[in-house]
Amino acid sequence: MSCVNLSTWVQTCSMFNQAGRSRSMSTPSFQILHPLKNIPISFIPPKRRRSISSVSVSAVLTKEDTLREEEESESEARTFNFKTYMLQKANSVNQALDAAVSLKDPRKIHEAMRYSLLAGGKRVRPMLCIAACELVGGTESIAMPAACSVEMIHTMSLIHDDLPCMDNDDLRRGKPTNHKVFGEDVAVLAGDALLAFSFEHIAVSTEGVPPARILRAIGELARSIGAEGLVAGQVVDICSEGLSDVGLEHLEFIHLHKTAALLEGAVVLGAILGGGSNEEVEKLRNFARYIGLLFQVVDDILDVTKSSQELGKTAGKDLVADKVTYPKLMGVEKSREFAEKLNKDAQDQLAGFDAEKAAPLIALANYIAHRQN
């Protein structure tokens, strides 16, 4: 596939900044622009921490302060159990997906749709949608149709991504890919059907929400996956294969669209449907962009550090396809440091929200940062 003027897709930015021209080398700073909203991320690899003696710590923290911090930490642990939350929400989402896409005629297409949609997965996007809705005062039932719609779209993108004309993959979520089971023709149509039904589902199944909010959510979802969202990232990714001059800012553009845009859509949909203010919606939008980029950085690291069996999909395929990744440009260790920075920046966006209600989003950000598959 030939592409021209690829550079026009990408905003230029300064990748390395050095303060002055002293003899001692300054620490390189990655200055990355978020093309979706020009949000700068300054990434300075952390310096090695100096060890602090127990004497100096005790001089700063009194016994009362230490006990208070321990009590607060224990209280948070008692009020929120992330593992339980994950299991409960995943179970609710799976039940809702199963009910939404039932097995009916034409049987072949519905079998193909259900094969990939119900094949497991972490359900991170639906959980983000529900958690954002609950954070601004909504409920799980209000967010569930939108959460399912986002997962349908995500599944569509995986089915199409695995096709021979795209990434040509044989394994997804530990199972043969859709086209390996149903054929390329049915796999394409199954993805198309999931995409179309996702909009129908959010439009007709969302209850207890003013129509204006539903319309706004549908518009947001469409934008996140179209030619200025997920598709934009996909096409620039395809056009970038084999190029030798791809830099960090180019890579940011790909993944802020290909990966982060749908994660952003999931969070923003939840915030809109839950009745969040414009300020709350924008804070959560920024949170989602950081974790969306974080998700891809971690994905790139796992691709070169884990096996296919551990990942449930083909490992090392980006290397074989000669794709540009964060480890390829920055190295594995610097990529890990960048992931830590993105996680911190994401969680900073939640300052000002109710701490108890924000706990699921904080835990989800940590989960994305430290996942192993």
**355: three-class secondary structure by DSSP:** helix
Residue 5 maps to a domain:
no
Q: Look up the pTM and report it.
A: 0.77
pLDDT at 243: 80
Q: Which residues contact 333 (CB under 8 A, 6 or more apart)?
A: none
Question: For residue 116, is pLDDT > 70?
Answer: yes
pLDDT at 103 over 80: yes
Decide if 58 is inside a domain: no
**87 — pLDDT class (breaks 50, 70, 90):** very high
**Collapsing DSSP states into helix, strand and coil, what is residue 183?**
coil
Asked if the structure places residue 221 within a domain, the reply is yes
Q: Would the pLDDT of 294 be above 90?
A: yes
**Is the pLDDT assigned to residue 84 strictly greater than 90?**
yes
**Overall number of domains in the chain:** 1
Q: What is the pLDDT of residues 203-244, one digit of tens each?
A: 999 999 999 999 999 999 999 999 999 999 999 988 888 787
* pLDDT for res 7: 39
pLDDT of residue 71: 52
Residue 281: per-residue pLDDT: 98
Task: Find, among 238, 227, 225, 120, the residue nearest to 168 by Cα.
Answer: 238
Q: Is 110 domain-assigned? A: yes
Integer Rg of the chain from CA:
22
Specify the pLDDT at position 57. 33
**Which tokens sit at 368?**
């994305």
Whether the Cβ atoms of residue 146 and residue 139 lie closer than 8 Å to each other:
no
> What's the CATH code of the domain at 114?
1.10.600.10
Write phi, then psi, for 117 (nearest 5 degrees).
-65, -35
* Residue-level pLDDT at 256: 94
Query: pLDDT tens digits for 296-322?
Result: 999 999 988 876 666 565 656 665 556
In 3-state terms, what secondary structure has residue 329? helix
Q: Is the pLDDT of residue 54 over 80?
A: no
Top pLDDT among 70 and 110 is at 110
Does pLDDT of 61 surpass 90? no
Q: What is the mean pLDDT of residues 4-30?
A: 37
Sign for the pseudo-dihedral over CA of 110, 116, 121, 124: negative
Torsion of CA 278, 282, 283, 285, to 10 degrees: 140
> pLDDT band at 12, cuts 50/70/90?
very low
Report the pLDDT averaged over residues 315-339: 81
Question: Residues 280, 291, 213, CA angle at the centre, nearest 5°?
Answer: 35
Confirm whether 72 is domain-assigned: no
Contacts of 111 (CB under 8 A, 6+ apart): 103, 182
Residue 338 has pLDDT above 90, yes or no: yes
Q: How many CB atoms lie within 10 A of CB 108?
A: 13
What was the pLDDT predicted at 224? 96
Does 7 reside within a domain? no
Interval 262-288: pLDDT, tens? 999 999 999 999 999 999 999 999 999
Burial string for 299-314 (b: 16+ CB within 10 Å, else e) reads bbbbbbebeeeebbbb
For the record, the structure tokens of 139 come out as 């409920």
pLDDT band at 194 (very low <50, low <70, confident <90, very high): very high
Q: Give dist(CA 76, CA 251) in Å, integer.
A: 37
Please say whether the beta carbons of 11 and 249 come within 8 A.
yes
| Mean pLDDT score, 153-180 | 94
Q: Which residues lie across from 221 on neighbouring strands? A: none
Whether 70 is in a domain gets the answer no
Q: Examine residue 88 and state whether it is found in any structural domain, yes or no.
A: yes
Q: Are strands 30-34 and 39-43 parallel, antiparallel or unpaired?
A: antiparallel
Domain range for 263? 82-370
pLDDT score for 52: 34
Look at residue 323 in the predicted model and tell me its pLDDT.
76
pLDDT per residue over 118-161, tens digit each?
998 889 999 999 999 999 999 999 999 999 999 999 999 999 99
pLDDT of 21 over the 70 cut = no
Tell me what the mean pLDDT of segment 170-194 comes to.
95
